[in-house]
Amino acid sequence: MTYIAKPKFHHPGLTKNRLGYTHRDYEGKISTLCAGCGHDSITASIIEACYELSIEPHRVAKISGIGCSSKTPDYFLGNSHGFNSVHGRMPSVLTGANLANRDLIYLGVSGDGDSASIGFGQFAHSIRRGVNMTYIVENNGVYGLTKGQFSATADRGSKSKKGVINTDSAVDLVAIALQLGASFVARSFSGDKTQLVPLIAAAIEHKGAAFLDVISPCIAFNNHAGSTKSFDYVREHNDAVNRLDVLTGREPIAVDYAPGTVQVVEQHDGSKIALRKIDADYDAHDRVGALAFLQKHAAKGQIVTGLLYVDPDSEDLHSHLNTVEQPLNRLEADVLCPGSAALDKINASLR
Amino acid sequence: MKPTDISAPDYFHKVVDCQWACPAHTPVPEYIRLIAEGRYSDAYMINWKSNVFPGILGRTCDRPCEPACRRGRVEENPVAICRLKRVAADFKDDIKSRLPRAGARNGKRIAIIGGGPASLTVARDLAPLGYHCTVFDQDPKAGGMMRTQIPKFRLPDSVIDEETDYILGLGIEFKGGHRIDSLKKLLSENYDAIFVGSGAPRGRELDIPGRKEAAANIHIGIDWLSSVSFGHTDKIGRRVIVLGGGNTAMDCCRTARRLGGEDVRVIVRSGFEEMKASPWEKEDAMHEDIPILNFMVPIAFVHNNGKLTGVTFQKVKAEYDAKGKRSLVPSGEADETINCDDVLVAVGQENAFPWIERDCGIEFDKWNMPKVDPKTMGSTHPKVFFGGDAAFGPKNIIWAVAHGHDAALSIHRLISGEDVQERPLPQVHVSSQKMGIHEWSYDNDISDDKRFKVPHRDKVVALKDIRAEVELGYDVKLALGEAQRCLNCDVQTVFSASLCIECDACVDICPMDCITFTQNGDEADLRKRLKAPSQHVDQDLYVSSDLKTGRVMVKDEDVCLHCGLCAERCPTGAWDMQKYLIDMTHAGTSCPSRARSAA
């Protein structure tokens, strides 16, 4: 653990975003994770994405559970709201917060233990309800905090640091998110920020449940030969289907790629994603095709990364429930509690 | 780009900006760390070895190190390196036992002309090797311009006495009050080598109407200062004009304030910004209620039957041609006469070698300066060497010291029968500072403090006594605070490509965005693709060999804080913090040519 604080000085030539902030303004405390942890790269990518989107830090709520991954919200967006919940309960807390105040940007940060084991049910229901959030799983396939047992996302046949072979089947959170109706599903790798940063930015801009599975090597317990979540393994088996450019603001789109290789996806808030196809056969609007593609490649030992599915016409929980437009904290008491006459009316309608 | 060769002695030397900028290459961060530890004597000895006059330079140095200091690129002000040097001198214990002793006499005799910083450096470097050094000076005491031209309120005699005595105590023969009038005669005395460190002793004249008639109240700055220094002059008129914008002018005006000058003004031809005086000297002058008027060219001394009454100035403005060359042209405003009782002329200094016969084997150039090899300090006469202001015209003390070291090395090699042109490479030591997983043998926590001000004596008191030192120096607590501002630029970030797993931890933690992993390219191209813009192309890029993914690591050395967080966050030890020390080659350094240790 690094004991000194990160120096306040920054490069004198740092660029500023629309709000006048540098990327350093989106940092949190110094990381207490092991040196070289993939999670720190995801932290840096979240910082970069929020900086690029010129997000006001006080408009963000970062919510997490328990685990190495769930510690990371302390390391980014030091001026944002945060809630470090019970193990596996991030999705529930996030859903509740979102219902109370729909105006905030919700960043759910979880790990493979938090989401694929103890919080598996919570994860599933927040996705199927379409909560408007960015749900990031920092997936290292191992229980780092308890010294390296296989997690539920460890591939069958992969080897632990001690040499034990995993005999259980792996939970593929991406496949499950697709099945459960997530309207934005992506997978990326902590060691590839050029892919990861725009994916996070696009997920934040997305309205609805955006799920992002980020493979993040555990430097202490899962970065050895025989691991399928090590830097070397992921680099060798990474099959990126596309690359993104997130275009914010109102500038006209100018992309200089060969025709047919770029697809522009417009999201709800008017922001646009330029999707550069790497695999010409891959269609990011086909949920069923995505599932098949994913499983076909998984069988070959390949890790499919990129924006795997996006529904440009997505909806979220609030539109399903037809809730009031305003966050609850901005409603006056007489609106929130209209009195016994209104209650009587409701009761009568249910008789 | 090719992978950076960090074993080249200059590569890491350049990263230590202060040391690289110092003509004598004083290991600045090393002594500042010792000051922070309270090891003042050790800090003093490091300085003494490299710049010979720590107490004097700690008060008067021109500080080329400070504009170079990396801290000045990170926040507003560099570390107060010069004043920390003074701290080492002020708080050291008795260091006499740590000084070298006169070496066993080798029978070789060296004549040294002038007793200033360059000459004393030569004597100090050569005496411990057994040379018999004889220093000739026209003044009774050693020190040269340090003693005669720098006012006592900036540099007390006691400091000069102490540091010149350390050198003269090495068995050096000092012949004070002995002026050399003929080099030919000296050559005939069969010295094994002669060093000329006679300075730039002539103040430049200002030949404008009235100069001769009003001569009684017009003084040449450096002559007047030395007359004050020796106590021959102890008063001046109430209204004084100082002409000139260099450090001598600043010394003149502040001295005049202490000798009865109540209305003292400095008047310069150029603009205030282009003045040659160091910014801090201008500040000190203005603090003593001395206005500095600019863009005024003196055109006549006004007098009443030989009694000076004032100076007439033409008003000018600066104009720049297409090449950016400045010229001063009349502004069209009316000339202005400023009344005064005395004028001090400090418009420059010149060399004068009337005592060097032009047929004794020393060639002079068209500016009437001796032809001197800047590497060896040798003249066209094999046995005669030059240094200090005598070599290339007026510079400053630290340059004189650097010249002295080089000349002493040349003299030693000449007399040892070695090639004077061949200069042994410096010794370089690079050693890891890692003590534990997150422990380093230096304090890597970066201080946010702004530059601490040096306490000054109360102005009213200071102006009453010409010998009362104005600057009081840092106390121990201020010195510690200022020392902590040093970024330890000599503790280098050393990268091993073979250990790197490209996890990005260093990129993510670096507070200054110095590190980029990218495809290789030529330098101009790489500079465009760095994580943070490259603002100073004179600062090197540290480029690794190819990594596993085919990329390279590129580090812009420019604003690295040397905080070591890259090494702390590196899981494989691909980054290490290694202290780089370079020992400049002085006379008698026992290292064979081309042999050195390196990273």
SS (H, E, C) B347-359: CCEECCCCCCCCC
**Cα(A81)–Cα(A84) distance, rounded to whole angstroms?**
10
Determine the pLDDT at residue A242.
86
How many angstroms separate the CA of residue A218 from the nearest CA in chain B? 11
Q: Which helix (H) or strand (E) holds B318?
A: strand B307-320
Determine the pLDDT at residue A269.
66
Determine the pLDDT at residue B596.
43
How many angstroms separate the CA of residue B62 from the nearest CA in chain A? 27
Instruction: Name every chain A residue with its beta carbon within 8 A of the beta carbon of B503.
Output: 36, 38, 41, 191, 217, 219, 231
Q: Count CB-CB contacts under 10 A for residue B341.
A: 18
Residue B592: is it exposed, middle or buried by C-beta count within 10 angstroms (0-12/13-18/19+)? Answer: exposed
Instruction: Quote helix, strand, coil % in chain A, to nearest 5.
Output: 35, 20, 45
Is the pLDDT at A272 greater than 90? The verdict is no
Nearest to B309 by CA among B258, B237, B244: B237
Q: Point out the residue among A4, A7, A40 whose CB comes nearest to the CB of B505.
A: A40
Instruction: Name every chain A residue with its beta carbon within 8 A of the beta carbon of B572.
Output: 36
Determine the pLDDT at residue A257.
53
Is the Cβ pair B571, A44 closer than 8 Å? no
Determine the pLDDT at residue B509.
96
Nearest to A117 by CA among A97, A85, A141: A141
Is the Cβ pair A40, B507 closer than 8 Å? no
Is the Cβ pair A9, B532 closer than 8 Å? no
Q: Point out the residue among A3, A9, A193 whose CB comes nearest to the CB of B512.
A: A9
Q: Which of B73, B569, B572, B577 to mutate to test the interface with A (most CBs of A within 10 A)?
A: B569
Determine the residue type at B33.
R
Is the Cβ pair B509, A6 closer than 8 Å? yes
Determine the pLDDT at residue A109.
98
The residue behind tokens 């209650």 is A343
Closest-CA residue of A relative to B566 is A35
Is the Cβ pair B511, A24 closer than 8 Å? yes
Output the tens digit of pLDDT for each of chain B's 599 residues: 999 999 888 999 999 999 999 999 999 999 999 999 999 999 999 999 999 999 999 999 999 999 999 999 999 999 999 999 999 999 999 999 999 999 899 999 999 999 999 999 999 999 999 999 999 999 999 999 999 999 999 999 999 999 999 999 999 999 999 999 999 999 999 999 999 999 988 899 999 999 999 999 999 999 999 999 999 999 999 999 999 999 999 999 999 999 999 999 999 999 999 999 999 999 999 999 999 999 999 999 999 999 999 999 999 999 998 888 888 999 999 999 999 999 999 999 988 899 999 999 999 999 899 999 999 999 999 999 999 999 999 999 999 999 999 999 999 999 999 999 999 888 899 999 999 888 899 999 999 999 999 999 999 999 999 999 999 999 999 999 999 999 999 999 999 999 999 999 999 999 999 999 999 999 999 999 999 999 999 999 999 999 999 999 999 999 999 999 999 999 999 999 999 999 899 998 765 444 444 44
- Mind listing the pLDDT tens digit for each residue in A115-173? 999 999 999 999 999 999 999 999 999 999 999 999 999 999 999 999 999 999 999 99
Is the Cβ pair A231, B502 closer than 8 Å? yes
Q: Which residues pair with B563 in a beta bridge?
A: none
How many angstroms separate the CA of residue B229 from the nearest CA in chain A? 46
Nearest to B165 by CA among B135, B143, B144, B180: B143
Residues belonging to chain B: 599
Pairing of strands A209-215, B109-113: unpaired
Closest-CA residue of B relative to A189 is B503
Closest-CA residue of B relative to A22 is B532
Cα dihedral sign, A19-A23-A29-A31: positive
**Cα(A175)–Cα(B351) distance, rounded to whole angstroms?**
86
The separation between CA B212 and the C-alpha centre of its own chain, rounded to angstroms, equals 37
Cβ–Cβ < 8 Å for B566, B553 = no
The separation between the first and the last C-alpha atoms of chain B, rounded to the nearest angstrom, is 20
**Cα(B365)–Cα(B363) distance, rounded to whole angstroms?**
7
**Cα(B341)–Cα(A334) distance, rounded to whole angstroms?**
88
Instruction: Name every chain A residue with its beta carbon within 8 A of the beta carbon of B559.
Output: 9, 11-12
Q: Point out the residue among B502, B508, B559 whose CB comes nearest to the CB of A12.
A: B559
Encoded tokens for A204: 């934040």
How many contacts does A have with B, using Cβ atoms within 8 A?
Answer: 99
Is the Cβ pair B505, A217 closer than 8 Å? no
Is the pLDDT at A258 greater than 80? The verdict is no
Closest-CA residue of B relative to A15 is B532
Q: Count CB-CB contacts under 10 A for residue B557.
A: 22
Beta strands in B42-176 (DSSP E): 109-113, 132-136, 173-175
Instruction: Name every chain A residue with its beta carbon within 8 A of the beta carbon of B568.
Output: 2, 35
The separation between CA B120 and the C-alpha centre of its own chain, rounded to angstroms, equals 16
Is the Cβ pair A41, B503 closer than 8 Å? yes
Nearest-5° Cα angle at B507, B11 to B28? 35
Q: What is the mean pLDDT of chain A?
A: 91
Is the Cβ pair B446, A9 closer than 8 Å? yes
Q: Is B509 on the interface with A (CB under 8 A)?
A: yes
Determine the residue type at B518.
T
Determine the pLDDT at residue B590.
61
What ipTM was reported for this prediction?
0.90
Q: Count CB-CB contacts under 10 A for residue B202.
A: 15
Residue B567: is it exposed, middle or buried by C-beta count within 10 angstroms (0-12/13-18/19+)? Answer: buried
Cβ–Cβ < 8 Å for A43, B504 = no
Determine the pLDDT at residue A264.
74
How many angstroms separate the CA of residue A231 from the nearest CA in chain B? 8
How many angstroms separate the CA of residue B17 from the nearest CA in chain A? 17
Cα dihedral sign, B153-B159-B164-B165: positive
Q: Residues of B140-177 as b/e, b for ≥16 C-beta within 10 angstroms? A: ebbbbbbbbbbbbbbbbeebbeebbebbbebbbebeee
Instruction: Name every chain A residue with its beta carbon within 8 A of the beta carbon of B549.
Output: 235
Determine the pLDDT at residue B154.
96
Is the Cβ pair A191, B559 closer than 8 Å? no
How many angstroms separate the CA of residue B247 from the nearest CA in chain A? 32
Cβ–Cβ < 8 Å for A141, A303 = no
Q: Point out the residue among A2, A232, A235 whose CB comes nearest to the CB of B438.
A: A2
Determine the pLDDT at residue B599.
41
- Give the residue ranges of DSSP H helices in B303-454: 389-392, 397-415
Phi, psi of B407 (to 5 degrees): -65, -40
Determine the pLDDT at residue A309.
95
**Cα(B315)–Cα(B40) distance, rounded to whole angstroms?**
51
The separation between the first and the last C-alpha atoms of chain A, rounded to the nearest angstrom, is 62
Q: Count CB-CB contacts under 10 A for residue A182.
A: 29
Phi, psi of B560 (to 5 degrees): -55, 130
Is the pLDDT at A31 greater than 70? The verdict is yes
Closest-CA residue of B relative to A4 is B445
Residue A218: is it exposed, middle or buried by C-beta count within 10 angstroms (0-12/13-18/19+)? Answer: buried
Cα dihedral sign, B212-B213-B216-B217: negative
- Give the residue ranges of DSSP H helices in B149-214: 157-168, 183-187
Q: Point out the residue among B535, B561, B569 whose CB comes nearest to the CB of A35.
A: B569
Determine the residue type at B194.
I
Q: Which helix (H) or strand (E) holds B224?
A: helix B221-229
Encoded tokens for B507: 């990129």
* Interhelix angle B247-258/B221-229, nearest 10 degrees: 50
Q: Count CB-CB contacts under 10 A for residue B386.
A: 28
Q: Is B528 on the interface with A (CB under 8 A)?
A: no
Nearest-5° Cα angle at B64, B560 to B70? 10
Q: Higher-confidence residue: A2 or B327?
A: B327
B346 CB-near residues (< 8 Å, 6+ apart): B203, B221, B222, B242, B243, B244, B246, B248, B249, B252
Instruction: Name every chain A residue with its beta carbon within 8 A of the beta carbon of B562.
Output: none
